[in-house]
Amino acid sequence: MAQTSEKTLFGHPRPLFTLFFTEMWERFSFYGMRALLVLYMAQYLFLEADQGKNVWGYGALKSGIEYFFGPQSPQALSSHIYGYYMGLVYFTPFFGGMIADRYWGKRRAVYVGGILMAIGHFLMAIESMFFLALLFIIAGNGFFKPNISTQVGELYAPEDKRRDGAFTIFYMGINLGAFFSPLVCGTLGQKVGWHWGFGAAGIGMLAGLLIYHFGGKHLPSSEHKVSIKEVEAQAHKPLTKSEWTRTWALTFMCAITIFFWGVYEQQGNTLQLWADQSTDWNFFGWEMPSTWYQSFNPFIIFLFAPILDRVWMWQARRGKENTTAMKMAIGCFMGTAALGLMFFAAKSVGPGKGTALWLLGSTFMLTIGELYLSPIGLSLVTKVSPKKIVSMMMGVWFLASFFGNTVSGWIGSMYDKMPKEQFFLLLAALGLIPGVLFFLSNKVLTKSLNSADEKKSGSAGSTLGSHAEATV
- In this structure, are residues 208 and 24 in contact, taking their beta carbons and an 8 Å threshold? yes
pLDDT at 439 over 90: yes
**Residue 48 carries which side chain, given as an amino acid letter?**
E
pLDDT at 69 over 50: yes
213/144 Cα distance (integer angstroms): 14
List the single range of 253-257, 349-353, 383-387 with lowest mean pLDDT: 383-387
- In this structure, are residues 22 and 208 in contact, taking their beta carbons and an 8 Å threshold? yes
Query: Mind giving me the DSSP string for 255-322?
Result: HHHHHHHHHHGGGGTHHHHHHHHSB--EETTEE--GGGGGGHHHHHHHHHHHHHHHHHHHHHHTT-PP
16/154 Cα distance (integer angstroms): 10
Phi, psi values for residue 88, rounded to 5°: -65, -30
pLDDT of residue 51: 54
Percent of the chain with pLDDT over 90: 39
- CB count, 10 Å around CB of 21? 18
**Side-chain half-sphere exposure of 55, counting CA atoms within 13 A:** 24
Strand partners, 8: 13
293/364 Cα distance (integer angstroms): 11
Instruction: Compare 37 and 219 and report the one with higher pLDDT.
Output: 37
Instruction: Compare 232 and 1 and report the one with higher pLDDT.
Output: 232
- Choose the CATH number for 12-471 among 1.10.10.1100, 3.40.50.10800, 1.20.1250.20, 3.40.50.720: 1.20.1250.20
- CB count, 10 Å around CB of 289? 18
Closest C-alpha to 429, from 331, 344, 338, 296: 338
pLDDT category of residue 204 using cuts at 50, 70 and 90: very high
Pairing label, strands 8-9, 286-287: unpaired
The stretch 183-201 carries a mean pLDDT of 92
pTM: 0.77
Q: Which helix (H) or strand (E) element contains residue 8?
A: strand 8-9
Closest C-alpha to 377, from 303, 323, 450, 320: 323
156/359 Cα distance (integer angstroms): 39
- In this structure, are residues 103 and 228 in contact, taking their beta carbons and an 8 Å threshold? yes
Domain spans in the chain, listed from the N-terminal domain onward: 12-471
- CB count, 10 Å around CB of 302? 12
pLDDT category of residue 196 using cuts at 50, 70 and 90: very high
- In this structure, are residues 201 and 181 in contact, taking their beta carbons and an 8 Å threshold? yes
Query: Mind giving me the DSSP string for 136-170?
Result: HHHHHHHHHHHHHHHHHHTTS-TT-TTHHHHHHHH
Mean pLDDT for all residues in the chain: 83
pLDDT at 224 over 50: no
Q: What separation in angstroms does the CA of 293 have from each of 39, 86, 173, 190?
A: 13, 19, 19, 13
pLDDT of residue 319: 83
336/262 Cα distance (integer angstroms): 12
- CB count, 10 Å around CB of 71? 9
- In this structure, are residues 105 and 3 in contact, taking their beta carbons and an 8 Å threshold? no
- What would the pLDDT profile of 260-289 be if each residue is shown by its tens digit? 999 998 998 999 999 998 999 888 877 889
Q: What separation in angstroms does the CA of 17 have from each of 3, 154, 172, 382?
A: 15, 14, 11, 18
- What would the pLDDT profile of 382-423 be if each residue is shown by its tens digit? 788 887 777 778 778 878 888 998 889 999 999 988 999 999
pLDDT of residue 307: 87
185/52 Cα distance (integer angstroms): 28
- What would the pLDDT profile of 17-65 be if each residue is shown by its tens digit? 888 899 999 999 999 999 899 999 988 888 865 555 678 898 899 999 9
Task: Tell me the three state secondary structure of residue 14.
Answer: coil
Instruction: Compare 51 and 424 and report the one with higher pLDDT.
Output: 424
Percent of the chain with pLDDT over 70: 87
Q: Which of 34-48, 110-124, 141-155, 274-288 has the highest mean pLDDT?
A: 110-124
pLDDT at 5 over 50: no
Task: Tell me the three state secondary structure of residue 357.
Answer: helix
Pairing label, strands 286-287, 282-283: antiparallel
